[in-house]
Amino acid sequence: MRLENYDSVYFIGIGGIGMSALARWFKANNYYVAGYDRTDTDLTRQLVEEGMDIHYEDEVDAIPARIRDNRERSLVVFTPAIPKSHNEYNYLKESGFSIHKRSQVLGMISNAFKTVAVGGTHGKTTTSSMVAHILKNAGMDITAFLGGIATNYDSNFIRNEKIDENTVAVVEADEFDRSFLALNPDIAVVTASDADHLDIYGDKASLETSFKEFIAKVKADGKLFVNEKIAKDLVDSSYSRTVCTYGINQGQFFASEITMSNGFFEFNYSDERFKIERIKLGVPGFHNVENATVAIAIALELGLHPEEVKHGIETYKGVKRRFEYLLRSDKIVFVDDYAHHPVEIEAFLGSLRAMYPDRKITAIFQPHLYSRTRDFAEGFAKSLSLADEVILLDIYPAREEPIEGVSADIIFKDISADSKMMCSKTQLVEVLKKKDLEVVATIGAGDIDRLVYPVFEYLKDRYHA
C-alpha cells in the first residue's frame, strides 16, 4: 500500500487520541478526511473546526458519499477498540475498501522520516512530547504523533514542513494490541515494562517478549535508549544495536543532584560527553526527571547544542492530564493526572507527597477496565494509600463487558489511607463540599476527565483561587 494512491481517508474511531493525530497529519497533507466516533467531545469538535467531516451514529448511510463512491482512492483506518459488530466497519470491509489498523498506517507514514519511537507501559506520552518540544523549540523540522495534548502546542500533532532525511518523526509506540511492532525506528526508547494489558498479553513474560520484538525492529545502525531499571530484562548480549541506559543516579545518561523549588525540580544531566547543570524542569514529579533525562539524551544524539536542550526542557509545559496543575495557591492545590496503573499512581502520589509533605492529600480515583482492576487490585489499594484520603469512583469499562465479582470494592477494601469512601460521579462535587481540602488530585484514564472542570469550578469559587 502506498499513501499517494489515495486522496481520501476515513477513520472509524476518529476521536481517539492516536487516531486524531493521524487524521490531522492527513488533513495537513491535503487529503479529504472524515470519520465516525461514538462520542461528541472537545477533540472531535476541534477536528470538525479543522475541516473534517465527523458523525456519531454507526450508520452506513452516514459515511460521506465521497468515501462510499470512491473505493479505489479511499483509505479506511480503524482502531482495535471498535467492536467486531460495527456496522460501518463491516460494510467497508465487505465492500472491498482498503482497511488498515491505526498502527499500520502510522508505520507507513513514519517510514518516510528519521523516526524516534518512544515506548513503555508508563511515561511514553510525556517523554515523546518532551523530545518533540526540545527539537521543535531548537528549530528542527519535525512531525510528532503524541498520545496526549501537548500544552505547548495545544495539540497531539506537530506538522512537518517537508519530508527528507533531515526531518524527524517523534511517535508514541503503543504496546496495546502490539501496535508498536508496525514501527521501524532509527531511535527507540523503552521507559518501563511493568505488567499491564494482561487482557491482551496474559502475563508479564509475554509483555516483555513483545517489548523485545519492538526493540528488535530498531534499524541496524540505530540506537536503543532503555531505562536502567529494566535493561537487563529486555536486552541481552545477542542484541546487536547500540544500547544506551538512563536513569536517576544510574545509567550511562543520568540525572543527579535533584532539588525541589516551588513544587518543581532542578537537576544536573551527565553523560560521557556532556554535563548540563541546574536544569529547571517545567513539570513536577521524580518520574518526569527520568523522562527528561532520556529526552535530553536523544536531543543531544540528534545534534542539538546543550544550551538548546536546556532551553527546551525549561520551556516545556507538559501534557494535559499528566501532573497538570489546575489550581495552585496557599489555600488549595488541584492536580489532574491520567495515571491508571499502580506504578503510575505510586509515582504520582509519591511525588505529590514529596512536594507537599505537610498538607492533606485527597485522591479521587476512577479505575479503568474490569480486567486491570482484577489483575492489580492489591497494587491499586497500596498505591492509593499514599494519599491521606481516597474517594473511589466506579470502574470505567471502556471496551470491556463486566466481569463477575469485579468492582471497585476489591480495591476499596484494602485501602489503608486515614479516610476512604466510595462515591458516584454525580455525587462527587457535593461530597467535596463536606470536606476539608488542601491538595486535591483527580486520577484515572476513563471519563473522570469530564469531572475535572466541575471540580475546578467548585474549588476555584470556594477558595477564591
Instruction: Give tens-digit pLDDT for 421-430.
Output: 999 999 999 9
318 CB-contact burial (10 Å; exposed 0-12 / middle 13-18 / buried 19+): buried
- Residue range 238-252: average pLDDT? 95
Confidence of residue 220 (pLDDT cuts 50, 70, 90): very high
How many angstroms from the chain centroid is the CA of residue 109?
20
| pLDDT one-digit tens code per residue, 318-367 | 998 888 999 999 999 999 999 999 999 998 999 899 889 999 999 999 99
Q: Where does 359-464 show beta strands of DSSP type E?
A: 361-365, 389-392, 419-422, 439-443
Whether the pLDDT of residue 1 is over 90: the answer is no
Percent of the chain exceeding pLDDT 90 equals 83
378 phi/psi in degrees, rounded to 5: -65, -40
1 CB-contact burial (10 Å; exposed 0-12 / middle 13-18 / buried 19+): exposed
* Selected residue with higher pLDDT from 223 and 163: 223
Whether the pLDDT of residue 307 is over 80: the answer is yes
Whether the pLDDT of residue 231 is over 60: the answer is yes
255 phi/psi in degrees, rounded to 5: -100, 145
What lies within 8 Å, CB to CB, of 189 at 6+ separation is 116, 117, 118, 119, 120, 124, 127, 224, 225, 226, 294, 298
Pairing type for strands 98-101 and 142-150 reads: unpaired
Whether the pLDDT of residue 394 is over 80: the answer is yes
CA end-to-end span of the chain: 54
| pLDDT one-digit tens code per residue, 147-184 | 999 999 999 999 999 887 789 999 999 887 788 899 99
| pLDDT one-digit tens code per residue, 67-108 | 999 999 999 999 988 888 999 999 999 999 999 999 999 999
pLDDT at 116: 98
Question: Which helix (H) or strand (E) element contains residue 425?
Answer: none
- For residue 420, the SS3 value is strand
Tell me the one-letter amino acid at 359.
R
Taking a C-beta distance cutoff of 8 angstroms, is the pair 244, 253 a contact?
Answer: yes
- Residue range 386-409: average pLDDT? 95
For 199-211, letters b (16+ CB in 10 Å) and e give bebeeeeebbebb
pLDDT at 254: 98
* Selected residue with higher pLDDT from 130 and 285: 130
Whether the pLDDT of residue 222 is over 90: the answer is yes
* Selected residue with higher pLDDT from 210 and 441: 441
Percent of the chain exceeding pLDDT 70 equals 98
| pLDDT one-digit tens code per residue, 183-209 | 999 999 999 987 565 566 567 788 889
Q: Helix axis angle, 102-110 relative to 17-28, nearest 10°? A: 40
pLDDT at 8: 98
Can you give the pTM of this predicted structure? 0.86
How many residues make up the chain in this entry? 465
293 phi/psi in degrees, rounded to 5: -60, -45
- Average pLDDT over the chain reads 93
pLDDT at 169: 97
pLDDT at 80: 82
Grid cell digits, residue 281: 524542569
| pLDDT one-digit tens code per residue, 369-387 | 999 999 999 999 999 999 9
Flag the least confident range among 163-172, 255-264, 294-303.
Answer: 255-264
3-state SS record for 317-354: CCECCCCEEEEECCCCEEEEECCCCHHHHHHHHHHHHH
Grid cell digits, residue 15: 476521536
Q: Where does 163-295 show beta strands of DSSP type E?
A: 168-173, 187-190, 223-227, 242-248, 253-261, 264-270, 275-281
Taking a C-beta distance cutoff of 8 angstroms, is the pair 446, 366 a contact?
Answer: yes
pLDDT at 164: 79
pLDDT at 31: 97
